[in-house]
Structure 1
Amino acid sequence: MAADVAEKSIKSAQNSGLAGRLAREITGDVLFDAFSRGRYATDASFYQIMPLGVVVPRSMDEALRALAIARDEGLKVTPRGGGTSQCGQTVNDGLVIDVSKHLNRILSLDIENRTCVVEPGIVLDDLNRQLKKHGLWFPVDVSTASRATIGGMAGNNSCGGRSLRYGTMRDNTLSMEAALADGALARFGDVPRDLSDVKASATTLALFRDMLDLGAREADEIADRFPKVQRRVGGYNLDALTPRNAPNNMAHLLVGSEGTLAFTTKVELKLWPVIRNKALGVCHFGSFYEAMDAAQHLVKLKPIAVELVDRTMIALGRDIAMFRPIIGAAIRDDPDAVLVVEFAEEDQATNLQRLKQLTELMGDLGFGWTNDKRKWGGVVEITEPALQSGIADFRAAGLNVMMSMKQEGKPVSFVEDCAVPLPHLADYTARLNEVFAKHGTSGTMYAHASEGCLHVRPVLNLKLEKDVKAMRAIAEEAFAMVREYKGSHSGEHGDGIVRSEFHAAMFGERLVADFMEVKRRFDPENVLNPGKIVDAPRMDDRALFRYRPDYRITELKTRLDWSAWPGAGGGFQGAVEMCNNNGACRKLEGGVMCPSYRATRNEKDVTRGRANTLRLAISGQLGPDALSSDEMMETLKLCVSCKACRHECPTGVDMAKMKIEVLAARVASRGLTLRDRLVGYLPRYAGIASRFAPLANLRNRSALLRKLFERFAGISARRALPAFRSDVFAPPTEAVGPVDGCEVVLFADTFNRIYERENLDAALRVLVAGGYRVHLPKPVSGTRPLCCGRTFLSAGLVDEAKAELDRLVASFAPFAARGVPIIGLEPSCLLTLRDELLSLRKDDDAKAVSAHALTFEEFLIREAEAGRLQLPLGAVGEKALVHGHCHQKSFGAFKPVEQVLRLVPGLKVETIESSCCGMAGAFGYGADTYDASLEMAELSLLPAVRRADQATLVVADGTSCRHQIHDGSARDALHVARVLAMSLDRAKANPTTSSHKDIPNG
Structure 2
Amino acid sequence: MKNASPLERQLRSNITGDVLFDRFSRGRYATDASFYQILPLGVVVPRTMDEALRALSIARDEGRIVTPRGGGTSQCGQTVNEGLVVDFSKHLNRLLSLDVENRTCVVEPGIVLDDLNRQLRKHGLWFPVDVSTASRATIGGMAGNNSCGGRSLRYGTMRDNTLSMDAALADSTLLHFGEVPRDLARVNSPQSGLELFRDMLDLGEREAAEVAERFPKVQRRVGGYNLDALVPRNAPNNLAHLLVGSEGTLAFTTQVELKLWPVIRNKVLGVCHFGSFYEAMDAAQHLVKLRPIAVELVDRTMIALGRDIAMFKPVIEATVRGDPDALLIVEFAEEDQPDNLQKLKQLSELMADLGFGWNHPQRKWGGVVDVVEPARQTAIADFRTSGLNVMMSMKQEGKPVSFVEDCAVPLPHLADYTERLNAIFARHGTRGTMYAHASEGCLHVRPVLNLKLEKDVKAMRAIAEEAFEMVREYKGSHSGEHGDGLVRSEFHEAMFGARIVADFREVKQRFDPDNLLNPGKIVDPPRMDDRSLFRYRPDYRVSELKTALDWSAYPGAGGGFQGAVEMCNNNGACRKLEGGVMCPSYRATRNEKDVTRGRANTLRLAISGQLGPDALASDEMMETLKLCVSCKACRHECPTGVDMAKMKIEVLATRAEKRGLSLRDRLVGYLPRYVELASRFAPLANWRNSSPLLRALFEKFAGISAKRALPAFRRDVFRPDAETYGASDGREVVLFADTFNRAYERENLDAALRVLIEAGYRVHIPRPADRARPLCCGRTFLSAGLVDQARRELNRLVTTYAPFAARGVPIIGLEPSCLLTLRDELLSLRSDNEAKSIGAHALLFEEFLVREAEAGRLKLPLGAISGKALIHGHCHQKSFGAFKPVEKVLRLVPELSVEAIESSCCGMAGAFGYGADTYEASMEMAELSLLPAVRCAEAATLIVADGTSCRHQIKDGTNRAPLHVARVLAMSLDSAQVKH
Whether TM-score is above 0.5 comes out as yes
Indicate whether 1:23 and 2:9 are aligned.
no
Which of 847, 856, 868 is residue 879 of structure 1 equivalent to?
868
Indicate whether 1:952 and 2:938 are aligned.
no
Which of 439, 445, 453 is residue 450 of structure 1 equivalent to?
439
Match of 1:978 in 2: 967
Q: Give 1:466's aligned amino acid.
A: K
* Cα drift, residue 374 of structure 1: 8.1
Indicate whether 1:683 and 2:672 are aligned.
yes
SS of structure 2 residue aligned to 1:559: coil
Which of 280, 303, 322 is residue 311 of structure 2 equivalent to?
322
Match of 1:4 in 2: none
Match of 1:167 in 2: 156
Which of 713, 722, 731 is residue 724 of structure 1 equivalent to?
713
Match of 1:666 in 2: 655
Indicate whether 1:271 and 2:260 are aligned.
yes
Q: Distance in 1 between matches of 2:191 and 2:25?
A: 41
TM-score by length of 1: 0.97
Q: Distance in 1 between matches of 2:721 and 2:497?
A: 84
Match of 2:486 in 1: 497
Cα displacement string for residues 955-986 of structure 1 (whole angstroms, at most 9, x for unaligned residues): 00000000000000000000000000010011
Root-mean-square deviation (Å): 0.9
Indicate whether 1:760 and 2:772 are aligned.
no
Cα displacement string for residues 191-220 of structure 1 (whole angstroms, at most 9, x for unaligned residues): 000113211000000000000000000000
Match of 1:890 in 2: 879
Indicate whether 1:72 and 2:58 are aligned.
no
* Cα drift, residue 570 of structure 1: 3.3
Q: Distance in 2 between matches of 1:442 and 1:399?
A: 15
Verify the 8 A CA contact 1:780 1:811 in the aligned structure 2.
Answer: yes
* Cα drift, residue 783 of structure 1: 2.1
Match of 2:569 in 1: 580
Verify the 8 A CA contact 2:550 2:559 in the aligned structure 1.
Answer: no
Which of 885, 888, 891 is residue 902 of structure 1 equivalent to?
891
Match of 2:399 in 1: 410
Q: Distance in 2 between matches of 1:618 and 1:178?
A: 41
Verify the 8 A CA contact 2:675 2:743 in the aligned structure 1.
Answer: yes
* Cα drift, residue 17 of structure 1: 2.9
- Equivalent positions of 1:61-100 (< 5 A) are 61-100=50-89
Indicate whether 1:212 and 2:201 are aligned.
yes
Which of 458, 477, 496 is residue 469 of structure 1 equivalent to?
458
Q: Distance in 1 between matches of 2:497 and 2:557?
A: 43
Q: Distance in 2 between matches of 1:554 and 1:111?
A: 58
Indicate whether 1:37 and 2:19 are aligned.
no
Q: Give 2:74's aligned amino acid.
A: S
SS of structure 2 residue aligned to 1:69: helix
Distance 1:932-1:306 versus aligned 2 partners, 3 A rule: same
Gaps of 5+ in 2: none
Verify the 8 A CA contact 1:877 1:951 in the aligned structure 2.
Answer: no
Q: Distance in 2 between matches of 1:637 and 1:783?
A: 34
Verify the 8 A CA contact 1:287 1:375 in the aligned structure 2.
Answer: no
Which of 536, 546, 552 is residue 547 of structure 1 equivalent to?
536
* Cα drift, residue 391 of structure 1: 0.5
* Cα drift, residue 14 of structure 1: 7.8
* Cα drift, residue 375 of structure 1: 1.8
Q: Distance in 1 between matches of 2:662 and 2:123?
A: 53
Q: Distance in 1 between matches of 2:503 and 2:361?
A: 53
Match of 1:9 in 2: none
Q: Distance in 2 between matches of 1:168 and 1:884?
A: 39
Q: Distance in 1 between matches of 2:723 and 2:39?
A: 64
Q: Give 1:520's aligned amino acid.
A: Q
Q: Distance in 1 between matches of 2:596 and 2:588?
A: 13
Match of 1:987 in 2: 976
* Cα drift, residue 782 of structure 1: 3.7
SS of structure 1 residue aligned to 2:254: strand
Verify the 8 A CA contact 2:593 2:599 in the aligned structure 1.
Answer: yes
Verify the 8 A CA contact 2:544 2:557 in the aligned structure 1.
Answer: no
Q: Distance in 1 between matches of 2:185 and 2:356?
A: 59
Verify the 8 A CA contact 1:286 1:374 in the aligned structure 2.
Answer: no
Q: Give 1:20's aligned amino acid.
A: R
Indicate whether 1:260 and 2:249 are aligned.
yes
Verify the 8 A CA contact 1:19 1:30 in the aligned structure 2.
Answer: yes
Match of 1:997 in 2: none
SS of structure 1 residue aligned to 2:271: strand
Verify the 8 A CA contact 1:699 1:706 in the aligned structure 2.
Answer: yes
Indicate whether 1:488 and 2:488 are aligned.
no
Verify the 8 A CA contact 2:546 2:558 in the aligned structure 1.
Answer: no
Q: Give 1:584's aligned amino acid.
A: A
* Cα drift, residue 845 of structure 1: 1.3
Verify the 8 A CA contact 1:286 1:373 in the aligned structure 2.
Answer: no
Indicate whether 1:867 and 2:840 are aligned.
no
Q: Distance in 2 between matches of 1:344 and 1:732?
A: 64
Indicate whether 1:149 and 2:131 are aligned.
no
Deviates more, 1:348-357 or 1:921-930: 348-357
Verify the 8 A CA contact 2:34 2:74 in the aligned structure 1.
Answer: yes
Match of 2:797 in 1: 808
Verify the 8 A CA contact 1:56 1:98 in the aligned structure 2.
Answer: yes
Which of 420, 425, 429 is residue 414 of structure 2 equivalent to?
425
SS of structure 2 residue aligned to 1:554: coil
SS of structure 1 residue aligned to 2:317: helix
Verify the 8 A CA contact 2:70 2:138 in the aligned structure 1.
Answer: yes
Cα displacement string for residues 118-174 of structure 1 (whole angstroms, at most 9, x for unaligned residues): 000000000000000000000000000000000000000000000000000000000
Q: Distance in 2 between matches of 1:694 and 1:104?
A: 51
Gaps of 5+ in 1: 1-11, 992-1002
Q: Distance in 1 between matches of 2:576 and 2:81?
A: 25
Verify the 8 A CA contact 2:545 2:557 in the aligned structure 1.
Answer: no
Match of 2:289 in 1: 300
Q: Distance in 2 between matches of 1:776 and 1:960?
A: 24
Which of 36, 40, 43 is residue 54 of structure 1 equivalent to?
43
Match of 2:920 in 1: 931
Verify the 8 A CA contact 1:42 1:49 in the aligned structure 2.
Answer: yes
SS of structure 2 residue aligned to 1:257: coil
TM-score by length of 2: 0.99
Verify the 8 A CA contact 1:880 1:955 in the aligned structure 2.
Answer: yes
Verify the 8 A CA contact 1:877 1:952 in the aligned structure 2.
Answer: no
* Cα drift, residue 781 of structure 1: 1.9
SS of structure 2 residue aligned to 1:857: helix
SS of structure 1 residue aligned to 2:356: coil
Verify the 8 A CA contact 1:626 1:632 in the aligned structure 2.
Answer: yes
- Equivalent positions of 1:303-702 (< 5 A) are 303-370=292-359, 375-567=364-556, 570-702=559-691
Q: Give 1:346's aligned amino acid.
A: E
SS of structure 2 residue aligned to 1:871: coil
Indicate whether 1:840 and 2:843 are aligned.
no
Q: Give 1:249's aligned amino acid.
A: N
Q: Distance in 2 between matches of 1:293 and 1:32?
A: 52
SS of structure 2 residue aligned to 1:832: helix
Q: Distance in 1 between matches of 2:49 and 2:746?
A: 55
Q: Give 1:361's aligned amino acid.
A: L
* Cα drift, residue 13 of structure 1: 8.2
Q: Give 2:890's aligned amino acid.
A: L
Cα displacement string for residues 245-268 of structure 1 (whole angstroms, at most 9, x for unaligned residues): 000000000000000000000000
Q: Give 2:700's aligned amino acid.
A: R
Distance 1:336-1:519 versus aligned 2 partners, 3 A rule: same
Match of 1:994 in 2: none
* Cα drift, residue 565 of structure 1: 1.0
